[in-house]
Amino acid sequence: MTLSPESLIYVAGHGGLVGAAIVRRLQAEGCQNLLLRRSRELDLRNQQAVDDFFATYRPEYVFLAAAKVGGIHANSTYPADFIRDNLQIQTNVIDAAYRNGTQKLLFLGSSCIYPKFAPQPMPEDCLLTSALEPTNECYALAKIAGIKMCQAYRKQYGFDAISAMPTNLYGPGDNYHPENSHVIPALIRRFHEAKVQGLPQVTIWGTGAPRREFLYSDDLGDALVFLMKNYSDIEHVNVGYGEDVTIKELAGLVAKVVGYAGEILTDPSMPDGTPRKLLDCTKLFSMGWRPHVQLAEGLDFAYRDFTAVLP
């Protein structure tokens, strides 16, 4: 039995960037039996609350997209929050899903699980082969634990739990906080504000040399539903775009989309993070899935979303 429009599906974290994209994809396929709870309605860090929820509703399929997330600043400033909250969320949900008869669970990780100096592009089997990037180590360790928990429950209990590791994401409903956001929403906000204020220059963190890969959130939602339907194995699966750009090149693209014509400077005194993060998506692409949204097009969509929610 596979996921169908009649399936009872719980999307944990549906209010976030990834969860909302999963919901949009499921609804486009006619799925209406969706269990959706905001964190104020169901605190996934609370084991008893999670147990009660699963015992009451017994979802057939679970997309575990709920997590505490943030950029370099947030990860390095609040490491205890990132490791504690994420370990609690994923442990509670994975265990409750298994004990209450969930047919299949998809756990969402992050490309930061891979070593700082991993081979490029990063294959799935380079996990735990060398040291992690220090600035987001606690978040990465929590996500690695989630992968291993899914694998352990598959081995010991036969629970059909799979894991997907997405690259850097952006899209509608992103977090545009001035300090705690990821690189694309942070750049969108800064260039927009610079345009409005008429600033002649914008300075970006670091040297601008690191290379990053970016995937539009709705492409990820499509890929995750595809994996839920078509993949069942112990190894995690990379989900990426297949190409990367430098942060300086990205800044130029964002500035063009926003309409900012000033100078873009770099600040080498600020951390660069991992030198390069490009996923090897051979496994996923060989299954027949490919992304659809080009970076320039996706940035335009994201900027429209940002301006739509401005006060």
Provide the b/e sequence for 107-137 (b: ≥16 CB within 10 Å). bbbbbbbbbbebebbbbbebbeeeebbebbb
163 is in an annotated binding site: no
Other beta carbons within 10 angstroms of residue 286's beta carbon come to 8
217 is in an annotated binding site: no
136 is in an annotated binding site: no
**Active site (annotated) includes residue 139:** yes
279 is in an annotated binding site: no
125 is in an annotated binding site: no
Candidate list 10, 98, 114, 139, residue with the active-site label: 139
User: At a CB cut-off of 8 Å and minimum separation 6, what does 42 contact?
Assistant: 49, 50, 53
168 is in an annotated binding site: yes
252 is in an annotated binding site: no
245 is in an annotated binding site: no
280 is in an annotated binding site: no
**Spatial CA neighbour of 245 closest among 205, 210, 281:** 210
13 is in an annotated binding site: yes
Feature table: binding site for substrate: 190, 205, 212, 272
What are the catalytic residues?
Answer: 139
Feature table: binding site for NADP(+): 13-19, 108-111, 143, 166-169, 182
